[in-house]
Structure 1
Amino acid sequence: MSKSTRSRRRARSVAALAGSVTALSLLLTACGGGKSDSAKSATAADTAGITAAKTAAETYRTAPTSIGVTKPVGKPIPTGKTIVNIGAGPGGLGTIIMQNEMAKAVGLLGWKLKFIQPQAPTPQLFQQALDQAIALHPDAVLINTVEVAPVANQLAKLKAAHIPVISNTAPDPSGGPIVMQIYGVDALGQLATAIADKILADMGKPGTIGIADIQGYTIINRYVEVFKREIGKRCPSCELVTTAVSAASLGTTAGSDITNFVRAHSGMDALFVGYDGMGTNLFSAARSAGVTLPKTYSLAPAPASIPSLADGQLTASAAFDQGEEGWRTLDALARVFTGQTDSALEQDAKYPRPMVWSKSFGNVPAKPSGNTFPDVVENYRDQYKKLWGK
C-alpha cells in the first residue's frame, strides 16, 4: 500500500469521526441532553458580587426563631367577630393552607371564619366573591393576591361600611382602601433576593440564568423584577433569559412549557421558577421530553415539591410559610379591633428573616401530610398565643 493511499484513508477516517461527533453534538443539543459552554469571563464586579452572594446565602441556611412580632396586643380582644376570607382560586394552594391554619386559630379568639373561593383568579370572579362577602355583613374581609384596582368599587363599599380589609401577598401598599398589606412586594422581594443569592453562590461564576415568570399575577411579576435586580447587582456579566407561562397552564402544560423554554436555551446554567406551583410537573415533563434541566430553583415551595428538594431535583427554594401568615393576619385584626391599627402596621407587616431549603444545606424538612406546610418558625403558634394572652 502506498504512503499516499494510507494518508487518504486516514483522512477519510478522521473526517467520518468528526462528522459522527458533530452529528452526536447536534442531537444532544436538540434533545437538551448537552450543555453548551456558556462560561463568561468574570469582571472584578462579578467576583466581588458573587463572593457577597455566597456570604449572604449562608445566612439563609438556618431558620429564624422569632415571628418578628414582639409587642403583645395588650387589650381585651373582642369575641363574636365574623371574618370572610377570599381565596386566590383553586390553584392558590398557599391561601388554602393559610385558611386551614386560620380555621384552627379563630376558636382561640372566639371568632367565626367564612371562606369564599373563586373558581379562577379573574377580576370578575374576585368582584363576585367580594359582593358575596359584602352581603354577609362581616366584621372584616381578607383578600389574597388580588390587586386593588379591579375590585375598587367593592373595596369602597366595604370602607363606607367601616369594614376593614386586610390584603395578603398582593402588590398594593398599605393604605387607601386596604388597612394593610401583609407580605407584599417588600416581603416577597426578600425571598426573591435570597434565592438569587443562593443561585449565584452555587454557580460561582457568571453564566446564563433562565427565569420562568407567569402571566396575570402582578405580585409574582414584581418580585421576579426584584430577583433580576439582585442578579444584575451581584453579577453584571450574568445573562438573564425569561419566559412567562399562562396562569391557565398551572397543573396542565406549565411543566412542558418550561421544558421547551429550557430546550431553546441549551446553555442555561440555572433555572428560576418564579412561583413553585408552576413547576409541579416540570421534572416529569423534562424526563418525558428527554431534556436535562440545569440546577433548578423556586420560591414558595408547595408541599408536593419537598420530596424534589430532598432528592436534589429541585436544587433550592425560598420557603414561604403561609400557614404562619394566617396567624399573623389574625394578629393584625386583633390589633385593628382593639383600636391599634398603627401597632398592626408596625408589627405585622414586617417579614422575618428569609430561609432557603436545599439538600446542599441539609435542612429540607419532611414532607407534610395533606394541605399543610412545614413550620419555618418552629413554635410560631405559641408565640402568637402569648401575644394574645391565650
Structure 2
Amino acid sequence: MRTSLGPIREPALPARQSSARHLLAATALAMAALLAAAGCSTDSDDESEGGAASAPPAASPSGDPLAATVEKLLEPASSLPVPTEKLDGVAALKGKTVYYVPITQQSSQFKIIGSALTEALNSVGVSVQVCNGGANPTTISACVNQAIGANAGAVVTDAIPYGMAANALDTAQAKNIPVLITNQIIDPAHPASKTLGYVEGGGTAQLTAVADWIIVDSGGEANIVINGSTDSPSSRAYVESFQEEISTHCEDCKVTVNEISSANFPLISPSTSSAILRTPGVNYVISEFDQYLQPTLAGVQQSGKITSVKGGSGSAQLAGLQMLAAKNFLYVDAGQASTFQGWVDADAVLRLMLGTPLPEYEPVVRLFTRENVTGLNLTPEGEATGEWYGPTTFPAQFKALWGLS
C-alpha cells in the first residue's frame, strides 16, 4: 500500500482547537447534530442486511506506526485519564442545583452521561435537574431560563452550540450562573471565561480513529463515502478532521462527503444511495453518528451494493455494537466512554462553580470491530458501567480529588 505516514496524531486526544475556526453562528438546525444515524454502500446487487465486503483486510507493513495506533485503540484502556489537580472547597457547594440540558433525550448517550453526572454531583451534595432540550432552540432557551429563575448553581449543556441559546446563556452568566458547554468545539465568538467552560468530548477523536482503521484495513486504497451532518459547526468540523486524517496518511484514498441534515431526515436514505451510485468503486461507507444508522443502511440497500462495502460509524451505542456482534453491515464503530464523560463533566462544573481553572480533559475513545466485541457485556447495564472502555474505578478517583476520601 502507498500511505503517507507523517507524524501520527493520537486519536484519543481532545478535539483540535483549529477546528474552532469553522464555527458559525448556530442556527436551529444545529439541534439535530446527534439525531442522525450511520449507513454504508456496496458494489453488488445483493440486498441482504448482513453483507460482507468482498475483499479481506490487507495486512499492514511491519512497524507501521498507524497500524500500532489502531491496535492500541482496539484495546480497552489500562487506566482512564482522571485529572490530577485536586479541588478544595467542594463542601461549600452542598445544597446547590445544577441544570443538565442535553440537546435531546432520544439518544441513550445523553441518558448515560446525565445519570453519571447526577451520581457524581450527588456524592458532594449537589442535586441535578435534567431539562430535555427537545432538539429545539426555544425549548433549550426555556430550560436555561428555568435554571436562571431557580438561581441554579450552574448550567451544563450537552451537544448544544452556544449560539443556539446565546441570549439565555448570556443572561445566566450575567447573573453569575456558570455555564459548561460539553460535546462541542469551542466557539471563538464565546471564548472560555470565569463563567464559561468547554469540555469538547470525543467527536474529533472518534472519526479520526475510524479514519485510521480504514487506512490500515484497506491497505491504503480506500474509496469512502461518509454521511456528514451539516446541522452544527461541530458536526461539520468532525467530518473535516476525518478528511484531513485520510489525506494526511493515505495518498491513494478518496473521500466523498454526502451532506445530510436531520431537518431532512427522510432524505438520508435516497441521498445515501445516490452518493454511492455516483461514486464508482466505493468500498467503505461511514456514518458520523450511530443515530443515522437505519436510514443510511436503507440507502445502501437501495443502491444494491450491500455486499461490497464495509460499514463504519461513530458515537457507538449499544445497538451499533450489537450489530457488530451479529456481523450485520457494520465493521467498525468508534465510541466515547459516556459514563466516564459524565464524571468529567461533574469535575468541570464543580471547578467552574468554585472559580477554579479547568484542566485539560482527555476523552476516552475506543474502536470496536466484529472481532473485539466478542465477550463484551452488550446490555444496557454493561453500557452504563463504562466497562467497555477500561477500569471502572474512576468514580473513587474523582471523589478522592474532591476530598471525599
Structure 1 length normalisation: TM-score? 0.78
**Quick one: structure 1 residues 332 and 90, their matched pair in 2 at CA, closer, same or farther if it must change by over 3 Å?**
closer
Tell me the distance in 1 between the aligned counterparts of 2:399 and 2:317.
26
Summarize deviations over 1:238-283 as a string: whole Å, max 9, x none: 1111112221456x66456535533443521212211121114544
Query: 2:45–2:304: 8 Å Cα contact kept in structure 1?
Result: no
Pick aligned residue for 1:369 from 380, 394, 398 = 380
Tell me the distance in 2 between the aligned counterparts of 1:210 and 1:118.
31
In our comparison, the structure showing a higher alpha carbon Rg is 1
Query: 2:117–2:346: 8 Å Cα contact kept in structure 1?
Result: yes
Tell me the distance in 1 between the aligned counterparts of 2:267 and 2:112.
24
How much has 1:302 moved relative to structure 2?
1.7
Query: 2:157–2:182: 8 Å Cα contact kept in structure 1?
Result: yes
Pick aligned residue for 1:182 from 199, 207, 232 = 199
How much has 1:336 moved relative to structure 2?
2.8
Secondary structure at the aligned position of 1:130 is classed as helix
Secondary structure at the aligned position of 1:85 is classed as strand
Tell me the distance in 1 between the aligned counterparts of 2:378 and 2:133.
28
How much has 1:88 moved relative to structure 2?
0.7
Tell me the distance in 1 between the aligned counterparts of 2:192 and 2:280.
45
Tell me the distance in 2 between the aligned counterparts of 1:288 and 1:88.
31
* Number of the residue aligned with 1:358: 369
Query: 1:211–1:241: 8 Å Cα contact kept in structure 2?
Result: yes
How much has 1:289 moved relative to structure 2?
6.8
The aligned runs of 1:92-171 (5 Å cut-off) are: 92-119=107-134, 121-171=135-185
Tell me the distance in 1 between the aligned counterparts of 2:246 and 2:223.
11
The aligned runs of 1:313-352 (5 Å cut-off) are: 313=328, 314-340=330-356, 342=357, 345-346=358-359, 349-352=360-363
Tell me the distance in 1 between the aligned counterparts of 2:211 and 2:125.
42
Tell me the distance in 2 between the aligned counterparts of 1:139 and 1:360.
45
* Number of the residue aligned with 1:292: 306
User: If each structure's helix is expressed as a fraction of its own residues, which one has the higher value?
Assistant: 1
Q: Which runs of 5+ in 2 are unaligned?
A: 1-42
The aligned runs of 1:235-250 (5 Å cut-off) are: 235-248=250-263
How much has 1:172 moved relative to structure 2?
2.1
Secondary structure at the aligned position of 1:117 is classed as coil
**Quick one: structure 1 residues 336 and 363, their matched pair in 2 at CA, closer, same or farther if it must change by over 3 Å?**
farther
Determine which structure has greater relative contact order: mean sequence separation of CA pairs < 8 Å that are 6+ residues apart, divided by chain length: 2
Residue identity over aligned pairs, in percent, reads 19
* Number of the residue aligned with 1:58: 71
Summarize deviations over 1:284-324 as a string: whole Å, max 9, x none: 66457754151111111122111112233321112212222
Secondary structure at the aligned position of 1:109 is classed as coil
* Number of the residue aligned with 2:279: 265
How much has 1:220 moved relative to structure 2?
1.6
* Number of the residue aligned with 2:323: 308
Tell me the distance in 2 between the aligned counterparts of 1:222 and 1:199.
19
Tell me the distance in 2 between the aligned counterparts of 1:372 and 1:308.
18
* Number of the residue aligned with 1:222: 237
Tell me the distance in 2 between the aligned counterparts of 1:229 and 1:92.
28
**Quick one: structure 1 residues 216 and 295, their matched pair in 2 at CA, closer, same or farther if it must change by over 3 Å?**
same
Secondary structure at the aligned position of 1:372 is classed as helix
More divergent stretch after superposition (97-106 vs 203-212) = 97-106
Query: 1:316–1:359: 8 Å Cα contact kept in structure 2?
Result: yes
Secondary structure at the aligned position of 1:355 is classed as strand
**Quick one: structure 1 residues 104 and 260, their matched pair in 2 at CA, closer, same or farther if it must change by over 3 Å?**
farther
Tell me the distance in 2 between the aligned counterparts of 1:292 and 1:36.
8
Tell me the distance in 2 between the aligned counterparts of 1:264 and 1:178.
48
Structure 2 length normalisation: TM-score? 0.75
**Quick one: structure 1 residues 208 and 32, their matched pair in 2 at CA, closer, same or farther if it must change by over 3 Å?**
farther
Tell me the distance in 2 between the aligned counterparts of 1:303 and 1:288.
25
Query: 2:336–2:363: 8 Å Cα contact kept in structure 1?
Result: no
One-letter amino acid of the counterpart of residue 183, structure 1: E
One-letter amino acid of the counterpart of residue 243, structure 1: N
Secondary structure at the aligned position of 2:91 is classed as coil
Pick aligned residue for 2:246 from 231, 246, 262 = 231
Secondary structure at the aligned position of 2:80 is classed as coil
Tell me the distance in 2 between the aligned counterparts of 1:144 and 1:77.
26
Tell me the distance in 2 between the aligned counterparts of 1:178 and 1:233.
37
Secondary structure at the aligned position of 2:400 is classed as helix
Query: 2:148–2:177: 8 Å Cα contact kept in structure 1?
Result: no
One-letter amino acid of the counterpart of residue 312, structure 1: K
Tell me the distance in 2 between the aligned counterparts of 1:206 and 1:228.
15
* Number of the residue aligned with 1:13: none
Query: 2:277–2:303: 8 Å Cα contact kept in structure 1?
Result: no
Pick aligned residue for 1:86 from 91, 101, 105 = 101
Secondary structure at the aligned position of 1:210 is classed as strand
Tell me the distance in 1 between the aligned counterparts of 2:144 and 2:233.
19
One-letter amino acid of the counterpart of residue 158, structure 1: A
Tell me if 1:205 matches 2:220: yes
**Quick one: structure 1 residues 336 and 36, their matched pair in 2 at CA, closer, same or farther if it must change by over 3 Å?**
closer
More divergent stretch after superposition (331-340 vs 235-244) = 331-340
Query: 1:301–1:317: 8 Å Cα contact kept in structure 2?
Result: yes
Q: Which runs of 5+ in 1 are unaligned?
A: 1-27, 39-46
State the number of aligned residues. 346
